[in-house]
Amino acid sequence: MATEVLLMAVVDGLGKEGDVVTVADGYARNYLMPRELAAPVSEGTRRRLAKLQVERDKEQAESLAEAQALAKKVGAASCTITVKVGEGEQLYGSVGESDIADALKTQGIEIDRHQVALTDHIKELGTFDVPVRLHPQVEATLKVWVVEE
């Protein structure tokens, strides 16, 4: 048997929020509905979905505005990281995402280390432009100075 359900969220391989899809009874009853990913098709469900979409749009607009404000702070900031250096200016270790996030924290800018988008750890002295992804639509560039201790 098959059941028609209204998707309340994006479900990979099935559809996006607001789509009416036909799925197996067990899949709907045991997976989609308990996780509130789908609901039976009805006018009440459609109204609830519309209300959820308005709330989500408002939250997304707020988070985008916060990310843009934080991007201005990050773009204007630069951080200096002091490291121990051996012969030939070789670093002991490397500078990673958490080091950069900690350096920004000392300046009063709170970001998660996962937002720092290093392609590879920094393993030499110098100046580097590091991208910081604050939101799917917002990215800032941070100037990082790696200097000898």
Closest-CA residue to 137 (of 70, 49, 56): 70
Give the DSSP letter of residue 37.
S
Residue located via tokens 């408002």: 58
The per-residue pLDDT for range 87-112, each reduced to its tens digit, is: 877 888 889 999 999 999 999 999 99
Which residues of the chain have a pLDDT value below 70?
none
Q: Cα dist. 16→7, 12, 38, 44, 60 in Å?
A: 7, 8, 10, 19, 17
The predicted pLDDT at position 145 comes to: 94
**Do 72 and 7 belong together in one domain?**
no
Bridge partners (DSSP) listed for residue 141: 131
* pLDDT on residue 33: 93
Predicted pLDDT of residue 93: 87
**73 and 136 inside one domain:** yes
Task: Name the residue with tokens 């200016």.
Answer: 89
Last residue of a domain, one of 30, 47, 64: 64
CATH assignment of the domain containing 14: 3.40.5.10
pLDDT at 41: 87
Q: Residue 143 and residue 50: Cα distance in Å, rounded?
A: 43
pTM for this model (two decimals): 0.69
Q: Which pLDDT value is given to residue 53?
A: 84
Give, as one character, the DSSP assignment of residue 81: E
Domain of residue 10, residue span: 2-64
Count of beta carbons in the 10 Å neighbourhood of residue 28: 21
CA distance linking residue 66 with residue 74, whole number of Å: 12
Residue 47, pLDDT score: 87
